[in-house]
């Protein structure tokens, strides 16, 4: 048999060009509102078993930083799912949540090392865009995993970011009927999740005229920055009744500021992410609550999505993972792990 290698090369180039054009034709991703979406619980029923991965399959995970418990938990999920599937996962992260170039360098190195698929959690919506384009050019599947959103991402796994803030606002409306002054400590500028969480909280709580958002300031995901900002806000507004922080690390810093001001009974503090330290603080009666986005499960689902893509399955653009408001009333319910947690969350989703 005689092969026309030029014709084969030309055909491959056309396929790649068509793939790139298709990706470029995608509208910029808004993971909260993207219509092409599926819930994590529906993957099995709609697409069947996860395709078996070829021997030697390697997945590369790139996180914001491993100094944050949330991202360590995502990595735990990657490891769980990779072990179950019999594939290798390498998980690396930048030195800090502000090391955008370092994170980009890690990602580009993984691309050059020939990883079969990438699991990316960018520091901002734009800092890993060059790596995304490089991966696309090499036909390497990329899964954008929570919480910054790469606009050109073809596949995203994560929760509805706006609903994090909405759930906290609804708690205040239901539990503080007299209303009052509240404040927001935001995440890093340029991160989709931070903007959506803040808007969800602010737009929901201000629908009730009894509430007033008196401050909304950047905390850059940093506990000390959040502490300092909260202390200043409490000085300016001694009658404040609550804080919402875009992540748990900042929320725990706010708790310390509230304690230092002697206002634990007056000021309710909420965070986002559901890290173990936040659960402990809720159980101790200090942090009023957190919105858990179940990072271990998110990591497991992200690996499943990557393996389905490698197996040739065409999935919806967004795979939605769960979230839940954790307070003293619900903390024990969601403190379970593994299959027990999956069962709880599956029932929650079915409702």
Mark whether 302 and 154 lie in a shared domain: yes
Strand partners, 183: 215, 243
Report DSSP state, residue 266: T
CA dist 300 and 128 (Å) reads 22
Query: How is residue 49 written in tokens?
Result: 């078993």
Examine residue 23 and state whether it is found in any structural domain, yes or no. no
* 3-state SS, residue 40: helix
Write the CB contacts of 222 (distance below 8 Å, at least 6 apart in sequence): 97, 249, 250, 253
Which DSSP symbol is given to 351?
-
Q: Look up the domain containing 178 and give its range.
A: 161-292
Rounded to the nearest 5°, which phi and psi values hold at 342? -60, -40
Of the candidates 53, 58, 60, 46, the residue with the CA atom closest to the CA atom of residue 88: 58
Alpha-carbon 32 to chain mean position: 11
Whether 205 is covered by a domain: the verdict is yes
271, 198: one domain: yes
Same domain, 170 and 288: yes
pLDDT reported for residue 26 = 87
Total domain count, the chain: 2
Residues 187 and 287 in one domain: yes
CA distance 129 to 256: 37
Q: What is the pLDDT of residue 24?
A: 53
Q: CA nearest 216: which of 231, 238, 191, 199?
A: 199
Give every CB contact of residue 22 below 8 A, 6+ residues apart in sequence. Answer: none
Quote the radius of gyration of the chain (alpha carbons, Å). 21
* Contact in structure between 66 and 116 (CB atoms under 8 Å): no
Q: Which residues pair with 88 in a beta bridge?
A: 58
Cite the DSSP H helix spans in the chain.
5-25, 43-47, 69-85, 100-112, 129-137, 161-175, 192-205, 223-236, 248-260, 276-283, 295-310, 338-350
pLDDT attached to residue 13:
36
Contact 73, 295 (CB under 8 A): yes
For residue 337, being part of any structural domain is answered with no
We report the CATH number of the domain holding residue 304 as 3.40.50.2300
Give me the pLDDT at residue 25, please.
74
- Beta strand 268-273 pairing with 242-245: parallel
CA distance 10 to 4: 10
pTM: 0.91
DSSP tag of 38: E
Residue 91 lies in a domain: yes
Same domain? For 114 and 125 the reply is yes
Q: Which residues pair with 158 in a beta bridge?
A: 320
In a domain, 18, yes or no: no
51 and 99, same domain (yes or no) = yes
**What is the rounded distance in angstroms from the CA atom of residue 334 to the CA atom of residue 292?**
9
CA 340, chain centre distance (Å): 22
Q: Average pLDDT of each block of 10 consecutive residues along the chain (351 residues)?
A: 34 36 73 98 98 97 95 98 98 94 98 98 97 96 96 97 98 98 95 97 98 97 98 98 98 98 98 97 98 98 98 98 98 96 90 71
Residue 19 placed within a domain: no
Residue among 165, 167, 166, 147 nearest 157 (CA): 147
Are residue 37 and residue 123 in the same domain, yes or no?
yes
Nearest CA-CA partner of 315 in 325, 328, 302, 327: 302
């Amino acid at each position: 048999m005689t092969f026309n290698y030029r014709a084969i090369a030309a055909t491959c180039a056309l396929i790649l060009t068509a793939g790139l054009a298709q990706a470029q034709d995608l509208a910029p991703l808004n993971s909260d509102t993207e219509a092409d979406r599926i819930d994590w619980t529906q993957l099995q029923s709609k697409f069947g078993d996860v395709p078996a991965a070829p021997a030697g399959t390697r997945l590369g995970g790139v996180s914001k930083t491993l100094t944050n418990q949330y991202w360590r938990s995502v990595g735990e999920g990657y490891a769980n799912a990779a072990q179950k599937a019999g594939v290798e996962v390498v998980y690396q992260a930048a030195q800090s949540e502000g090391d955008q170039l370092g994170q980009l360098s890690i990602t580009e190195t993984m691309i050059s090392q020939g990883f079969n698929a990438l699991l990316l959690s960018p520091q901002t919506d734009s800092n890993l865009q060059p790596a995304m384009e490089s991966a696309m050019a090499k036909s390497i599947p990329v899964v954008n995993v929570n919480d910054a959103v790469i606009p050109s991402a073809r596949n995203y796994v994560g929760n509805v970011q706006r609903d994090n803030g909405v759930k906290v606002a609804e708690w205040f409306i239901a539990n503080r009927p007299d209303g009052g002054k509240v404040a927001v400590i935001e995440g890093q500028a340029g991160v989709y999740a931070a903007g959506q969480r803040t808007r969800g909280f602010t737009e929901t709580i201000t629908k009730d005229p009894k509430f007033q958002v008196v401050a909304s300031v950047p905390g850059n995901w940093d506990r000390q920055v959040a502490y300092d900002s909260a202390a200043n806000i409490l000085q300016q507004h001694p009658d404040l009744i609550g804080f919402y922080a875009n992540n748990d690390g900042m929320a725990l810093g706010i708790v310390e500021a509230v304690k230092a001001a002697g206002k634990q009974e007056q000021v309710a503090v909420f965070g986002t992410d559901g890290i173990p330290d936040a659960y402990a603080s809720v159980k101790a009666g200090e942090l009023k609550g957190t919105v858990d986005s179940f990072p271990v499960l998110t990591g497991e689902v992200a690996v499943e999505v990557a393996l389905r893509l490698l197996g040739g399955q065409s999935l919806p653009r967004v795979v939605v993972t769960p979230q839940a408001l954790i307070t003293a009333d619900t903390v024990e319910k969601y403190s379970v792990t593994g299959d027990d947690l999956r069962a709880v969350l599956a029932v929650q989703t079915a409702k």
